[in-house]
Chains A and B, each alone.
Chain A
Amino acid sequence: MNKEKALIAYVTRMGDNAIIMAQRLSEWVGHGPELEEEMAMGNFALDYVGQSRMYFSYAGELEGKGRSEDDICFLRDGWDYGNVLLLEQPNGDYGETIARLVLFETFYSLQLGALVTSPAKKLAEIAARAIKESTYHLRHAGHWLIRLGDGTDESHRRVQDAIDRLWTYTGELFEADQVDQIMQSDWEAPDLTDLRGHWHRQIDELLAKATLQKPDDGWMDSGGKNGHHSEHLGYILAEMQSLQRTYPGANW
């Protein structure tokens, strides 16, 4: 794999992470525990839709085959989607959604922080924009994790369960494959081993504030980055892509 191919794959994966997160977060619109929280989740979803558009357009440009952001988003099947498994998991209760946000945004803001100086100019620009949003999401979700962890017995139990359940999907975040290696050597993308250390320190700190226990690293599920997904992704795509699939070539 050459460095151009690796960049396309990496940028597409980032777009996939963004759109799958957006699909999940937007499920809260109209159904949240509090109007203000519905709005927060909707705003985060909107940020992520915006980010996915930037990543997909950039990937299309790099690829040079005339594929638009929508072609990339709506006309690929699951095996070509490279989002991490963590993001396609169902929302669960509000605590689980918050726990997922914390686990992912902590990773994502570190990743973006490294990418802002990438020689891939456009990727660096997108990262500079996305990191502001990610930092804000993380602050919001972090506050909620603390509230829920240190709230009532029930909220503590629920959010601890959520962290325990999602933990198995956190290993994949730091698994470097060929794409990540080329990105690191040629495009100054973060060293995932390094990033893992930072991630653990930040998560430790947050879990402690939230009076939550950190689960042991047991078996870690993975495969999403390479298109090996759980059963959940198929439904997300079936729903999201339905109009494009039913009416091929139509303009909307």
Chain B
Amino acid sequence: MYTQGLDQKQKKSVADPGDSPERLAAFQARIDADEKIEPKDWMPSAYRKTLIRQMSQHAHSEIVGMLPEGNWISRAPTLRRKAILLAKVQDEAGHGLYIYGGTETLGVSRDDLVADLLSGKAKYSSIFNYPTVTWADVGAIGWLVDGAAIMNQIPLCRCSYGPYSRAMIRVCKEESFHQRQGYEIMLELCRGTDEQKRMAQDALNRWWWPSLMMFGPSDKTSEHSAQSMAWKIKRFSNDELRQKYVDATVPQADYLGLRMPDEKLVFDEKTGHYEFGEIDWQEFFEVLKGNGKCNRERLEARNRAHDEGRWVREAARAYAEKQAAKDAA
């Protein structure tokens, strides 16, 4: 999911000397036959690299994504909502762990991946650099952000890499649960007082465009990732997925009685799709560069947790070593 087409930034992959034409052809034949690639199987080095980048970005996004919503756990308006939100954020941590685990099957360590996140070298989805300023943002994230994530992830359930595809099948079930819960929050607000409706509309205004950006740059401007398509890591283009998302989400906003913050949004009878306005790609690239409202806070929060937890991890290691020494004696 949360890879927002960052694969475009990748340099042309240099063929590995081990990647002989025969091996590559045999590999491609397996993919074409819809076989799953498993960790012990041979795979081209560029396939491995692409997956490591995509999967680790996905895992990082799950983890950083805990922060904006975690911001409202202490202030959830009812005990029931508090329990649901806590459980949701816990699910995201579980997704992160699970996907880190999947990435490790490609021969990298979680510690190294996390180090890249903390140093700012690795990316995570820009959507989590937006602030959650009202309770309605928790609803909007569930509805829109988890909703966009599902659009992205459902095709990944058929991804050619076995561990990733299996992770996505499990994760998707929970994400659709999150999406429903988020929508339910919005529904309750929209049935509520004028202030609650205002809260809901305001959240939609702020989250709609960033949620569209989650699908990554437009196909027109971005180098089409034909290789990922051929490898069945990617199944649909960014614009195709974005259109599906818009088509699914606009009627949901109508049902809530909310207005999409897009003057140009119209339903095209001929195509059966919604046409929508221009996405502000300038904003997207700014946030990607680090110039979003919360980029600094998010990374600082993870770094602080890591630094302040160092003595705890060291203690656990020291204790384990002592125990092992005792057992050996």
Asked whether, in the complex, the Cβ of A30 is within 8 Å of the Cβ of B313, the reply is no
Q: Is the CB of A45 within 8 A of B79?
A: no
* A252 B78 Cβ-Cβ under 8 A: yes
A154 in contact with B311 given A39-B93, A49-B83, A53-B80 (CB within 8 Å): yes
Interface flags for A43-60 (1: CB within 8 Å of B; 0: not) read: 101100110110010000
Which residues of chain A are near B76, meaning CB under 8 Å?
Answer: 243
Q: How many A-B residue pairs have CB under 8 A?
A: 137
Asked if residues A155 and B314 are in contact (CB atoms below 8 Å), the reply is: yes
What's the tally of chain B residues with a CB closer than 8 Å to chain A? Answer: 48
Do the beta carbons of B305 and A32 come within 8 Å of each other?
Answer: yes
A-side interface mostly: helix
Q: Mark B72-89, 1 if CB is under 8 A from A, else 0.
A: 011111111111001101
**Closest B residue by C-beta to A53:** B79
Q: Which stretch in B157-165, B166-174, B191-199, B236-244 binds the other chain?
A: B191-199
Contact of B93 among A22, A35, A73, A240 (CB under 8 A): A35
Which of chain B's residues 155-213 have a Cβ closer than 8 Å to chain A? 185, 188-189, 191-193, 195-196
Cα-based distance from A142 to B87 in the complex (angstroms): 24
Contact between B90 and A250 (Cβ–Cβ < 8 Å)? no
A239 CA / B311 CA spacing, docked (Å): 30
Pick from B74, B306, B308, B314: contact of A93, CB below 8 A: B308
Instruction: Determine if B316 is an interface residue (Cβ-Cβ < 8 Å).
Output: yes
A27–B304 Cα distance when bound, in Å, is: 14
| Residue A90 CB within 8 A of the other chain | no
Known contacts A26-B86, A152-B315; decide if A247 and B195 are in contact (CB<8 Å): yes
A37 to B308, CA, bound (A): 13
Q: How far is the CB of B96 from chain A (nearest CB, A)?
A: 7
What 0/1 pattern do residues 301 to 329 of B give for CB contact below 8 A with A? Answer: 10011101111111110110010000000
Q: Nearest B residue to A46 by beta-carbon distance?
A: B86
Digit string of A104-145 for contact with B (CB within 8 Å is 1, else 0)?
000000000000000000000000000000000000000000
Contact B73 A239 (CB under 8 A): no
Cβ contact within 8 Å between B97 and A35: yes
The answer to whether A94 and B312 have CB atoms under 8 Å apart is yes
* Number of interface residues, chain A, beta carbon within 8 A: 50
Asked if A35 contacts B96 (CB within 8 A), the reply is yes
Main secondary structure of the interface of B (DSSP, over half): helix
The yes or no answer to B67 lying at the interface (CB within 8 A) is yes
Does chain B have a CB within 8 A of A242?
A: yes
Decide if A36 is an interface residue (CB 8 Å cutoff).
Answer: yes
- Would you call A147 and B193 a contact (CB within 8 A)? no
Minimum Cβ distance to chain B for residue A87 (Å): 15
Interface residue? B2 (CB, 8 A):
no
Given contacts A70-B79, A146-B319, A29 and B314 within 8 Å (CB-CB): no
In the complex, chain B residues whose CB is within 8 Å of the CB of A70 = 78-79
Interface contact A42-B74, CB-CB below 8 Å? no
A29-B318 Cα distance, complex, nearest whole Å: 25
Are B309 and A32 closer than 8 Å at their CB atoms? yes
Enumerate the 8 nearest inter-chain pairs by beta-carbon distance, A residue then B residue, closest first: A33-B309, A151-B315, A155-B315, A33-B312, A252-B77, A243-B77, A30-B70, A147-B319
Residues of A within 8 A of B (CB): 19, 22-23, 26-27, 29-39, 42-43, 45-46, 49-50, 52-53, 56, 69-70, 73-74, 93-95, 146-148, 150-152, 154-155, 158, 239-240, 242-244, 247, 250-252
Could you pull out 12 A-B pairs where Cβ atoms are within 8 angstroms?
A26-B74, A26-B86, A30-B305, A33-B313, A39-B97, A45-B86, A49-B86, A53-B79, A155-B311, A155-B314, A155-B318, A243-B77
